[in-house]
Chain A
Amino acid sequence: DAGITQSPRHKVTETGTPVTLRCHQTENHRYMYWYRQDPGHGLRLIHYSYGVKDTDKGEVSDGYSVSRSKTEDFLLTLESATSSQTSVYFCAISGRDAETQYFGPGTRLLVL
């Protein structure tokens, strides 16, 4: 299994609070991704990174920001959590062009 961990694995928070999710990899892969998974929508890309301090927006980036200060860590921040951001968040990594993406275990976030 690819060395990807996510923390926390479960979180309950209140509307309006900031939340940060962490993705950590031990594979030294260049590309890292944050997705959210909701019933009926498959996965939707939030943000991705193609190197340290190099990030770009995905399909559903509003309300989210990311940072990557080290190759191994990719942080996702919900600036002011809303109930619509209740979801399962997956981090993924890939090493090079057209290589498959490997997924972390996921974080279940509930925003009350």
Chain B
Amino acid sequence: ELKVEQNPLFLSMQEGKNYTIYCNYSTTSDRLYWYRQDPGKSLESLFVLLSNGAVKQEGRLMASLDTKARLSTLHITAAVHDLSATYFCAVDADSNYQLIWGAGTKLIIKP
């Protein structure tokens, strides 16, 4: 059974700092997705990582995938308040388009 673990589950940080959110998964998969959710809102796609070593960047966010380690990271550079949200990773189970989701990382960035 595929399991996806994110850590930390909660992160409070100051503006301007760097930090990394980790997403570990338990079985082989080479498709990993990152989403953002604002309170009371829907989910917004951030990144799709489809191969080992994939790295994608958008603004202050950078995501990477290491399929051998079964690990993806979401790195935040010089955080700003607008990045406060809950971030989810999801892994494609058995390539049948069913995503298994992590519990989410609630990120609060203080001005």
**Chain A residues proximal to chain B, CB less than 8 Å:** 31, 40-45, 48, 50, 58-59, 90, 94, 97-106
Contacts and interface: CB of A to CB of B under 8 A. Distances in A.
A42 B102 CA distance: 6
A31 to B, nearest CB: 6
A44 B33 CA distance: 15
Contacts of B103: 40-42
| Chain B CB within 10 Å, residue with most, of A100, A104, A105 | A100
5 contacts: A42-B103, A45-B99, A98-B50, A102-B45, A104-B42
A48 B42 contact: no
A74 B20 CA distance: 37
B66 interface: no
Interface of B: 4, 31, 33, 41-45, 48, 50, 88, 90, 92, 97-104
A44 B24 CA distance: 17
A98 B92 contact: yes
Contacts of B48: 98-100
B97 A42 contact: no
A58 B101 contact: no
- What 8 pairs across the A-B complex have the smallest Cβ distances? A42-B101, A100-B45, A43-B101, A103-B43, A103-B42, A42-B103, A100-B48, A105-B42
B88 A48 contact: no
A43 B42 CA distance: 12
Contact of B101 (A44, A50, A105): A44
Contacts of B42: 90, 103-106
